[in-house]
């Protein structure tokens, strides 16, 4: 029997940003940067592991907005245009740096990186990265799970059962539509949990979810195995806790690996270093400096002048850090094993975008961890949580405590002086949506009314995304976040009033359907009370 297990979980999520009404839109770059720096490098890691027959297990959570955007033809076309622009800039840099050998070498490296991205995206996977993840899922080594429909922060939506249930159900349905399977696991947005949330998860067919460390530590019963075995919430849905030690080694700004002096510096980019006239064609409106992704310096440390990045040295450090990470996990397992009634599972969840975007060498570190963990002399094995539950189907019954993985461990990052104003508006719209569902449940399928009602449900879900209050608190693109919420709520209010007055403007409705092209199979009737939906379903099935 194995001494213990390591479960690495990557959560990939971006808010739904798609603007067909504009020829290009800056915030769409969030997706393009993540594809280039995170998702394609991750796919390349998985491809290499498969080629070499490596024995590993990894869990990847794909949020419904990200799933939708990765399959969107408009965004796929715009990403190709973005890549071509990066290749053009890299070629320009190669010419500019020909008398600077160290930087010239890096410019050529970036050209090769972008060429490889183009090959993987366009030639290898025909612009469909979900197909790549599905391929690796089919091997049994990559487990895919999902999250709430628009990554809504469920603890603050929990005053409405319908709001929470639809965030979960629509999220699961989106995964099913694209992968033809029901996910066993579910990533609670921001790891936001409150007692009772396991019920709608159970109803959606979910077997397990994740909470932060204190969610298990402060459970309704003292956890006999600490945070290194799941709890059964009492209904057959299991809660796994984040391991604080493995989290600190990667996330911590003081002791985490990404801050090593040999790694690439994220905050030094030619978008800010080059003369404005030179870089103008590759930045926002030719005037506003932005990151291009081409960076020539390493972290260096302290107040020193940033030194030139040395890729070979950085990759050597990534392997050393992978070995260090696994050595510490093995020591951790040896310490825990004697105190537990089963082999411990160390759950290490991270934002997927950390790997490659913020931490350029992250994908190489991950590949080393997965390769080395498959070697017998390390004494631990990577595993998915669903496989762990198959081996150990019975666990202590207890309910986790309310918790998140946000600052201070609760909800303060998503409700505070910067963003609290949104929740009365969201709750009002949610109540109105439920009344619409009750009052208009008998409208004809495919009718103009039904289309408007379904679009109102989409607008509500999009307004509920946790990204917008997070951005308002973090102080980044605040105006865009405000506009997203107010626009979605304005669309909902317009549709609500139009439906109530029976004055639906089909041209405007079509425009909304094009702009917010997500959840094609949504059914507004799911916002009815559970008892009414069950009664209607029973009536429908009566001979």
Residue 126 burial (C-beta neighbours within 10 Å; 0-12, 13-18, 19+): exposed
What is the SS3 assignment for 270-309?
HHHHCCHHHHHHHCECCCECCCCCCCCEECCCCCCCCCEC
CB neighbour list of residue 386: distance below 8 Å, 6 or more residues apart: 143, 184, 185, 207, 208
How does strand 208-211 pair with strand 185-187? parallel
Concerning whether 91 is annotated as a catalytic residue, the answer is: no
C-alpha 464/C-alpha 154 separation (Å) is 9
- DSSP percent split of the chain into helix, strand, coil, nearest 5: 55, 10, 35
Instruction: Give the N- to C-terminal CA distance of the chain in Å, as an integer.
Output: 54
Largest CA distance in the chain: 83
Which of these is catalytic: 93, 184, 190, 387?
Answer: 190
Write the DSSP string, 315-381: HHHHHHHHHHHHHHHHHHHHHHHTT-SS--EEEEEEEGGGBTTTBTTHHHHHHHHHHHHTSGGG--E
CB neighbour list of residue 279: distance below 8 Å, 6 or more residues apart: 270, 271, 289, 292
Which of these is catalytic: 351, 487, 517, 526?
Answer: 351
C-alpha 41/C-alpha 356 separation (Å) is 7
H-state helical runs in 392-447: 422-439
Bridge partner residues of 347 (DSSP): 7
Tell me the C-alpha to C-alpha distance, in Å, between residue 144 and each of 137, 189, 386.
7, 16, 11
Residue 144, H or E segment: strand 142-147
Question: In the structure encoding, which two tokens stand for residue 212, read together?
Answer: 């932060």
Residue 536 burial (C-beta neighbours within 10 Å; 0-12, 13-18, 19+): middle
468 DSSP 8-state letter: H
C-alpha 540/C-alpha 536 separation (Å) is 6
Bridge partner residues of 61 (DSSP): 11, 145
CB neighbour list of residue 485: distance below 8 Å, 6 or more residues apart: 422, 425, 463, 468
Concerning whether 351 is annotated as a catalytic residue, the answer is: yes
Is residue 365 a contact partner of residue 246, using CB atoms and an 8 Å limit? no
Is residue 236 a contact partner of residue 402, using CB atoms and an 8 Å limit? no
Please identify every residue annotated as catalytic. 190, 351
């Amino acid at each position: 029997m194995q001494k213990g297990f390591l479960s690495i979980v990557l959560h990939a999520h971006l808010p739904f940003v798609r603007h067909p009404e504009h020829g290009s839109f800056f915030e769409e770059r969030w997706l393009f940067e993540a594809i280039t720096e995170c998702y394609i490098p991750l796919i390349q890691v998985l491809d290499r592991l498969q080629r070499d027959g490596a024995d590993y297990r990894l869990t990847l959570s794909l949020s419904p907005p990200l799933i939708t955007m990765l399959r969107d033809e408009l965004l796929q076309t715009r990403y190709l245009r973005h890549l071509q622009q990066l290749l053009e800039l890299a070629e320009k840099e190669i010419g500019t740096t020909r008398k600077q050998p160290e930087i010239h070498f890096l410019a050529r490296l970036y050209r090769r990186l972008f060429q490889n991205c183009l090959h993987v995206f366009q030639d290898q996977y025909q612009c469909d990265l979900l197909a790549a993840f599905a391929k690796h899922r089919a091997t049994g080594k990559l487990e895919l799970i999902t999250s709430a429909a628009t990554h809504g922060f469920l603890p603050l939506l929990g005053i409405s059962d319908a709001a929470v249930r639809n965030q979960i159900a629509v999220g699961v349905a989106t995964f099913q539509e694209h992968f033809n399977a029901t996910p066993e696991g579910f990533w609670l947005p921001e790891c936001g949990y409150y007692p009772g949330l396991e019920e709608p998860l159970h109803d959606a067919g979910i077997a397990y979810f994740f909470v932060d460390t204190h969610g298990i530590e402060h459970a309704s019963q003292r956890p006999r195995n600490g945070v290194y075995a799941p709890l059964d919430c009492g209904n057959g849905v299991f809660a796994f806790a984040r391991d604080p030690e493995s989290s600190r080694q990667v996330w911590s700004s003081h002791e985490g690996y990404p801050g090593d002096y040999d790694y690439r510096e994220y905050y030094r980019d030619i978008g800010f270093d080059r003369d404005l006239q030179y870089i103008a064609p590759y930045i926002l409106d030719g005037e506003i400096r932005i990151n291009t992704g081409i960076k020539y310096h390493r972290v260096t440390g302290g107040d020193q002048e940033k030194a030139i990045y040395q890729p070979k040295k950085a990759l050597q450090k990534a392997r050393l850090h992978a070995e260090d990470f696994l050595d510490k996990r093995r020591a951790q397992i040896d310490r825990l094993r004697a105190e537990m009634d089963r082999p411990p599972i160390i759950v290490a969840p991270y934002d997927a975008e950390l790997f490659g975007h913020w931490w350029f060498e992250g994908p190489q570190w991950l590949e080393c961890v997965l390769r080395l963990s498959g070697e017998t002399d390390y004494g631990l094995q990577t595993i998915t949580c669903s496989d762990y539950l198959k081996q150990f189907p019975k666990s202590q019954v207890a309910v986790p405590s309310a918790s998140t993985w946000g600052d201070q461990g609760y909800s303060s990052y998503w409700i505070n002086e910067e963003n609290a104003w949104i929740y009365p508006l969201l709750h009002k719209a949610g109540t109105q949506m439920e009344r619409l569902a009750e009052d208009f449940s008998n409208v004809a399928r495919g009718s103009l009314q039904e289309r408007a009602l379904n679009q109102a449900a989409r607008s509500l879900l999009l307004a509920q995304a946790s990204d917008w209050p997070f951005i308002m608190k973090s102080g980044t693109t605040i105006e865009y976040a405000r506009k997203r919420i107010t626009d979605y709520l304005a669309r909902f209010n317009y549709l609500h009033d139009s439906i109530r007055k029976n004055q639906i403007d089909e041209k405007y409705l079509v425009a909304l359907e094009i702009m917010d092209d997500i959840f094609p199979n949504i059914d507004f009737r799911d916002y009815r009370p559970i008892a009414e939906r069950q009664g209607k379903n029973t009536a429908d099935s009566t001979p």
